[in-house]
Homo-oligomer: A and B are copies of this chain.
């Protein structure tokens, strides 16, 4: 098995792709499914999200500049959303880094959402697929590499290699795994990341604490469909079969 890391999204990643967006989309998504959500559509477009919610009755989640836009049911805060039930509902969520990354990747056979929060379930799911290559794609922050996603990619790569010691790292995977030694407590890396500083500036420090929790969720969101509409793309996720 080859373990690759892209520190920023690049077109046509190889093999099974794990999209990492620790702060906050890939931490929030497993929480939503844990709390009863049945499907999640991601988009970077407010207008598209509003229209989709009106058409389908989906719960409207998301952020602009870190906070929920007017008329939205909730923001993107994992600390807040851990306490909200969504039994039997679908949701559409507006965020920037993860949907922008998804648009960048192009067509991918199999795409999973990964974070520290669902790390162990993600590792199990990837190993079940017996891939020749796994590419861990960091969403980054505002178009740049960032510490939170790089550390999470390193964490996931290291766990995969513990389970498959013959797996080979590429250079970026070595770099990401190296970060683990610098940050034995992942929260510290989230704290120091550009995304983390941004959220702390919005007094959303509690989200960093939740995003730094390891293996809390058994859910691995998997991409089922990408829909092109006039206003932009929608990426539809449901939990991977267990």
Contact surface of A with B, Cβ cutoff 8 Å:
5, 7-8, 140-142, 144-147, 150-151, 170-172, 174-175, 178-183, 189, 192-195
Contacts and interface: CB of A to CB of B under 8 A. Distances in A.
A195 to B, nearest CB: 7
Q: How many copies of the shown chain assemble into the complex?
A: 2
Give the interface centre of A144, A151, A192, A194 by most chain B CB atoms within 10 Å. Answer: A144
Nearest to A180: B182
A91 B128 CA distance: 54
Nearest to A194: B171
B147 A178 contact: yes
Interchain residue pairs A-B with the least CB separation, the first 9: A171-B194, A146-B171, A181-B182, A182-B182, A145-B172, A147-B175, A178-B182, A147-B174, A144-B171
A8 B140 CA distance: 14
A176 to B, nearest CB: 9
A175 B180 CA distance: 11
17 contacts: A7-B7, A7-B8, A7-B172, A140-B171, A141-B171, A142-B171, A145-B175, A146-B171, A147-B171, A151-B178, A171-B193, A171-B195, A174-B194, A175-B193, A179-B179, A181-B183, A182-B182
A172 B8 CA distance: 10
For A142, A150, A151, A194, the residue with the greatest tally of chain B CB atoms inside 10 Å of its CB is A150
A161 B179 CA distance: 20
A198 B182 CA distance: 25
A182 B139 CA distance: 23
Nearest to A170: B144
Nearest to A175: B147
A161 B112 CA distance: 38
Contacts of A174: 146-147, 192-194
A189 B179 CA distance: 11
A172 B151 CA distance: 12
Nearest to A141: B171
Contacts of A189: 178
Given A145-B7, A145-B175, A175-B147, A194 B170 contact: yes
A193 B193 CA distance: 23
A3 to B, nearest CB: 12
Contact of A172 (B144, B172, B178): B144
